Amino acid sequence: MSSIQRPAQLLKTVSSRVLASTAPTADGKMSHQRVVHTTRPQVSYFTKVTGQPYPQSWFTTRRLSLAAQTLQQVLTAKQHPVVATSVLHSQDVNDAIRVEFADGSTSDLSHLWLRDNCQCEKCYSKSAQGRISLLKNLDLNTHPIHVQEVPNGSITVEWNDGHISEFSGEWLHQRAFNPTSRQKRRSQYALKKVPWGGDFRPKQFDYYNMLKDNQQLLDWHLAMERDGFTLIRNAPDKDVAGPELIEHIAVVKQSHYGPHSPVVVRADANNIAWTNSELGLHNDLAQYEYMAGIIFIHCKHQHVGSGGESLVSDGLYAAEELRRHHPEAFKLLTTTDNYYWDKGVANLPWEQDEFFKIARMPVIKLDNNQEVIQVAVNNAVRDSYLDLPAHKVKQFYEAMKMYNDILYENAITFKMAEGDIIVLDNIRCLHGRLGYEAHSTRHLESSYLDWDEARCRRRRLQEKLGVE
């Protein structure tokens, strides 16, 4: 059946074909045998939402000769072979249509949900992949007056307002309200994070392989979502090696420090990172409400001699440790906001002339499922203003220090080699460095990518490479 047929035409065509063998059952209700490529008979029940059968006049009573019926069944089966996602059977239950797919899975599809997601060209723009219909026009009492399975595995629904929708079996199967489909969408949204401790070693990738091999790039994405920490080797010796790789992935996330930031010792540093001091474990840009999702730290020149080692710790692992062993401290850090701020003027030509950022967030941010979705640890930009009653201040410091201690206990320390880029989930993993001599040629470059862009690229790569 051509997909460009209008639903009304489609329903008409289907009715005369599928309902051809309709006959009353022993209890007087109407049922029909669906023409499908299967060994067991499939029975459909078309009942009103009240549970009453539709009046007999709804159904075509035309009867075909046995030979004609057989011929028709053979032709239909040839035209539309049943696939795993074909709807074999549908039944109206309360406020939903219960469908059974050819793979044996079932789902109750709410009337409201179906009507809201009508795929016809009046309700949905295929080119924009978005709803044209408006929520304000959705009738909360919408219900079907006729549901019909179609030989191509889809169903058509005629609604009480006369509107007709068609839903393909594949489309419904993907969105089925069962644990498998819901889990699939969850991992398409974001992959599961696996917390790690001090014995973790990041997965390594080659800079040029990531540029030329999509499978390598996808593997990197998967590792980043899972571990939040990867090591890329053999980056070229140029300041924009990080941004160039980010642009191959998606787009650079800029900050008031521009598209990339040289981490070197600078006179009149407008950020503590641009001194030779030790840097505590931190995320970059905690002064942004919408903190950069991923940080690329490229080592162009390493400090020779002792000092300049990098530290990385998994904020997720530490948060789970805190939740397990110190639930009170965990509660405090998830329910108390800190301010993080940054005020200054440009040091470099590509920086914003002047800036004054203030962000407000808890040290550990949870989602509605109580999962850790972000941590904010940055002693340099943590504000001196505290929006707390005076008597709660000490408890809050105790909790912050407890979390910080766990981060350090489980950190890994290493010295980056020239050409290395460490990439961190910046809202999950914290990084720091040991201090080094002031007159050092150590030169790192930081640049950022957002999670929205990274996950977007990962999903497209999965589609291109046919990986679920």
Contact positions toward Fe ion, by CB under 5 A?
284
Residues 122-151 that bind Zn ion (CB under 5 A): 122-123
Enumerate residues 6+ apart whose C-beta is below 8 A from 441.
301, 303
CB of 273 to Fe ion, least distance (A): 5
Residue closer to Zn ion, measured from CB, 116 or 247: 116
Decide: is 35 part of the binding site for Zn ion (CB under 5 A). no
For 169, the 3-state DSSP assignment is helix
CB of 127 to Zn ion, least distance (A): 16
CB 458 within 8 A of CB 218: yes
CB of 116 to Zn ion, least distance (A): 10
Give the tokens for residue 404. Answer: 């910080």
CB of 353 to Zn ion, least distance (A): 52
Nearest CA to 14 among 78, 82, 80, 71? 80
Give the C-alpha distances (Å, rounded to integers) separating 394 from 329, 340, 345, 390: 12, 19, 33, 8
Instruction: Report what 182 binds from Zn ion, Fe ion, none; CB cut-off 5-8 Å by kind.
Output: none
CB 197 within 8 A of CB 183: no
Nearest CA to 432 among 411, 406, 418? 411
CB of 133 to Zn ion, least distance (A): 7
How many residues touch Zn ion (CB under 5 A)? 4
For 182, the 3-state DSSP assignment is helix
Residue closer to Fe ion, measured from CB, 235 or 424: 424
CA angle 82, 87, 88 (to 5 degrees): 75
Distance CA 148, CA 106 (A): 16
CB of 187 to Fe ion, least distance (A): 30
Instruction: Report what 343 binds from Zn ion, Fe ion, none; CB cut-off 5-8 Å by kind.
Output: none
Residue closer to Fe ion, measured from CB, 149 or 284: 284
CB of 164 to Zn ion, least distance (A): 7
Q: Which residue is nearest to Fe ion (CB)?
A: 284
Alpha carbons within 13 angstroms on the beta-carbon side of residue 402 total 22
CB of 119 to Zn ion, least distance (A): 7
Instruction: Report what 118 binds from Fe ion, Zn ion, none; CB cut-off 5-8 Å by kind.
Output: Zn ion
Strands 229-233 and 203-206: what pairing? parallel
Instruction: Report what 401 binds from Zn ion, Fe ion, none; CB cut-off 5-8 Å by kind.
Output: none
Instruction: Report what 284 binds from Fe ion, Zn ion, none; CB cut-off 5-8 Å by kind.
Output: Fe ion
Instruction: Report what 145 binds from Fe ion, Zn ion, none; CB cut-off 5-8 Å by kind.
Output: none
| Stretch 5-24: interaction string toward Zn ion, x if CB under 5 A | --------------------
Residue keyed to tokens 């009507």: 115
Residue closer to Zn ion, measured from CB, 39 or 137: 137
Residue closer to Zn ion, measured from CB, 121 or 387: 121
Residue closer to Zn ion, measured from CB, 122 or 185: 122
Distance CA 89, CA 101 (A): 7
CB of 285 to Fe ion, least distance (A): 9
Instruction: Report what 120 binds from Fe ion, Zn ion, none; CB cut-off 5-8 Å by kind.
Output: Zn ion
Instruction: Report what 123 binds from Zn ion, Fe ion, none; CB cut-off 5-8 Å by kind.
Output: Zn ion
CB 47 within 8 A of CB 54: yes
> What backbone torsions phi and psi does residue 66 show, to the nearest 5 degrees?
-60, -40
Residue closer to Zn ion, measured from CB, 159 or 257: 159
CB of 284 to Fe ion, least distance (A): 4
Residues 107-126 that bind Zn ion (CB under 5 A): 118, 120, 122-123
Distance CA 319, CA 429 (A): 11
Distance CA 159, CA 162 (A): 5
CB 158 within 8 A of CB 11: yes
Residue closer to Zn ion, measured from CB, 121 or 213: 121
Residue closer to Zn ion, measured from CB, 166 or 219: 166
322 CB neighbour count, 10 Å cutoff: 26
Instruction: Report what 63 binds from Zn ion, Fe ion, none; CB cut-off 5-8 Å by kind.
Output: none
Instruction: Report what 325 binds from Zn ion, Fe ion, none; CB cut-off 5-8 Å by kind.
Output: none
Q: What is the largest CA-CA distance in the chain?
A: 97
Distance CA 210, CA 352 (A): 31
H-helix or E-strand containing 341? strand 337-345
Residue closer to Zn ion, measured from CB, 23 or 138: 138
Binding residues vs Zn ion (CB under 5 A) = 118, 120, 122-123
